[in-house]
Amino acid sequence: MEWKLTREPLASLAADAIIVFHTEDRESTQGCAHEVNQALEYRISSLISEGEIRGSLGEVTILHNWGKIPSKRVLVTGLGKEDKTDLRRLKNAVAEAARKAQAVGIKQLGIDCPFYMIERYNSVDVIQAIVEGVELGSYQHHSYKSDIKKKEMEVVWLSLDELPQSVFEAGIERGQVFARATNLARFLAHEPGNYLTPDKLAEQAKQIAEKRGLSIDIFTKDRLAEHGMNGLLAVSRGSANPPRMIILSYYGAPDSKEVLGLVGKGVTFDSGGLQIKPGAKMDTMKGDMAGAAAVLGAMDAIGKLKPHCNVIAIIPACENLTGSDAYRPGDVLQTYSGKTVEVHHTDAEGRIVLADAISYAKRLGATKLVDVATLTGAVVVALGYETAGLMTNDDEWGHEVKTAARIAGERVWELPMYDEYEAYVKSEIADLKNDAGSPAGAIQGGMFLKQFAEDTPLVHLDIAGTASSGKNNGIHPKGATGSSVRTLIQLAMRFG
């Protein structure tokens, strides 16, 4: 998709379609929508007065041009109430319109920049939001159908009459990097388990490293054994596909000792192990590497944007299956940290593989940690599909990650990690157990990981609810969402 700047008003642009905006507060069209309305002999006005166009958020009305303007279609797009409109809502509204436009075969699209957004926000941020809206909303998941004919948008014109070219270019560049990193994560999380095995995930990481000039190290079984990474080794034993520990690094601030460690759960398929999951919806567990996908997407963007900071990414990748050598409930594992873990539930495998990765990130010099994981069904019970669970052992670091998420337009909500919860992860026969039954399941996961971060600040993001969307919704086409990618990029840009 190519982005172009036009100084022409949209009413005179010759594209397949143009997007203009309307809000709930106004009885008549404003700005660019008004010019188009005039050219269309007030047809938009009459739909507004008949109540067919209300301007509510997510509403998209497709009109023809009746031969009055050069563009063939007009998409009147609702932004909701003006005092509630923010960059997140703008992104979602643009995404709905772009997806509809693409579905009807539009290849060349023109977009207006809502005047009151430019007055309220930094112009680069507004342009970034529009670009993200189009590129995220029109994303189409990879298909294995043999007769697929993709309808793809080719050119998008952004109509800006006053802003300098440099502002346009900065907004386009950032929007594209953020959106394409998210779409890369979506692609990875959507791939079937038989295609995206741990070694294939490692190959994908290698491609990103080569493209962006990042260092990469990939541990195969022998090196995992040499290092005593018995958590990752144990979980992977039920599968014929061997595990990998994937390590990417970017040193953009050699003068600084601060290192951001990003850890992503890379379980390429989670059957639950011997305590097997029910059959229904088990297919969705191909996405149990969405945390790894988020970290890889973010590293792709970091490699491109080259912020002044140091970042290492660690991805424990494996499958959790039921083969004859599978780990058992009751087993005790000695993790890389030296801490022993009693396996209470083979389906609580994520925290076991993350434990080794967190300890290794510390060993490599990470001074602040964030892990991203589809860790618990319990977080979905607590927060649904809209919000990721955030847990931390350090309020200041937690605040920083929340700030990055807010700027990125992603939702996180903190769950507590009070000392009293520590009892939930204590075992009678080992240092820790990986599960303690039902209460506060998401917090149990966080408390377990906290034991491996020790005194290094850790934020744990449980994205089990946000990693995938059950329907087309704003910037999220149905399926893998790329949750947390944009938060991690923002975090890296602010780090150092």
- Contacts by 51-60, CB closer than 8 A, 24 or more apart: 53/22, 53/78, 54/24, 54/78, 55/22, 55/23, 55/24, 55/25, 55/26, 55/79, 55/80, 56/24, 56/80, 57/89, 57/92, 57/93, 58/92, 58/93, 58/96, 58/474, 60/96, 60/97, 60/100
**Residue among 398 and 441 whose Cβ is closer to Zn ion:** 441
Q: Does 288 bind Zn ion (CB under 5 A)?
A: yes
Q: Does 469 bind ligand BES (CB under 6 A)?
A: no
Q: Does 268 bind ligand BES (CB under 6 A)?
A: no
Give the N- to C-terminal CA distance of the chain in Å, as an integer: 33
Q: Bridge partners of 5?
A: 158
Q: What are phi and psi of 7, to 5 degrees?
A: -95, -5
Q: Decide: 290 and 398 in contact? Cβ < 8 Å.
A: no
Integer Cα distance of 8 and 10 in angstroms: 6
Q: Does 96 bind ligand BES (CB under 6 A)?
A: no
Task: Give min distance, CB of 347 to ligand BES, in A.
Answer: 4
Beta strands in 164-302 (DSSP E): 215-219, 244-251, 260-264, 266-270
Question: Which part of the chain contacts ligand BES (CB under 6 A), choosing from 32-40, 221-229, 343-351, 448-456?
Answer: 343-351
**Residue among 378 and 390 whose Cβ is closer to Zn ion:** 378
345 binds, among Zn ion, ligand BES, none (CB under 5 to 8 A by kind): ligand BES
Closest to 58 in 3D by CA, of 8, 7, 28, 100: 100
75 binds, among Zn ion, ligand BES, none (CB under 5 to 8 A by kind): none
Integer Cα distance of 274 and 455 in angstroms: 34
SS3 447: helix
Task: Give min distance, CB of 316 to Zn ion, in A.
Answer: 12
Q: Is 4 annotated as a binding residue?
A: no
Q: Does 374 bind ligand BES (CB under 6 A)?
A: yes
Q: Is 270 annotated as a binding residue?
A: yes
Question: DSSP letter at 57?
Answer: T
Q: Does 349 bind ligand BES (CB under 6 A)?
A: yes
Q: Does 482 bind ligand BES (CB under 6 A)?
A: no
Q: Does 376 bind ligand BES (CB under 6 A)?
A: yes
Q: Is 191 annotated as a binding residue?
A: no
361 binds, among ligand BES, Zn ion, none (CB under 5 to 8 A by kind): none
Integer Cα distance of 243 and 202 in angstroms: 10
Closest to 415 in 3D by CA, of 440, 384, 397, 436: 440
Q: Does 264 bind Zn ion (CB under 5 A)?
A: no
Q: Does 378 bind ligand BES (CB under 6 A)?
A: yes
Q: Does 350 bind ligand BES (CB under 6 A)?
A: yes
376 binds, among ligand BES, Zn ion, none (CB under 5 to 8 A by kind): ligand BES
Q: Is 8 annotated as a binding residue?
A: no
435 binds, among ligand BES, Zn ion, none (CB under 5 to 8 A by kind): ligand BES
**Residue among 33 and 390 whose Cβ is closer to ligand BES:** 390
Q: Does 435 bind ligand BES (CB under 6 A)?
A: yes
Integer Cα distance of 171 and 132 in angstroms: 10
Q: Does 270 bind ligand BES (CB under 6 A)?
A: yes
Structure-block tokens of residue 444: 């149990």
Residues with a known catalytic role: 277, 351
Task: Give min distance, CB of 349 to Zn ion, in A.
Answer: 5
Crossing angle for the helix pair 123-137 and 87-103, to the nearest 10 degrees: 40
Q: Is 265 annotated as a binding residue?
A: yes
Q: Which of 212, 227, 345, 494 binds ligand BES (CB under 6 A)?
A: 345
Give the footprint of ligand BES on residues 407-426 (CB under 6 A): none
Give the footprint of Zn ion on residues 346-375 (CB under 5 A): 347, 349-350
Return the exposure string of 320-359: e unless at least 16 CB atoms fall within 10 Å of the residue's CB, then b. Answer: bbeeeebbeeeeebebbbebbbbbbbbbbbbbbbbbbbbb
Q: Bridge partners of 369?
A: 261, 458
Residues that bind Zn ion (CB under 5 A): 267, 270, 288, 347, 349-350
Residues contributing to the annotated binding site for Mn(2+): 265, 270, 288, 347, 349
Residues that bind ligand BES (CB under 6 A): 270, 288, 345, 347-350, 374-378, 435, 441, 464
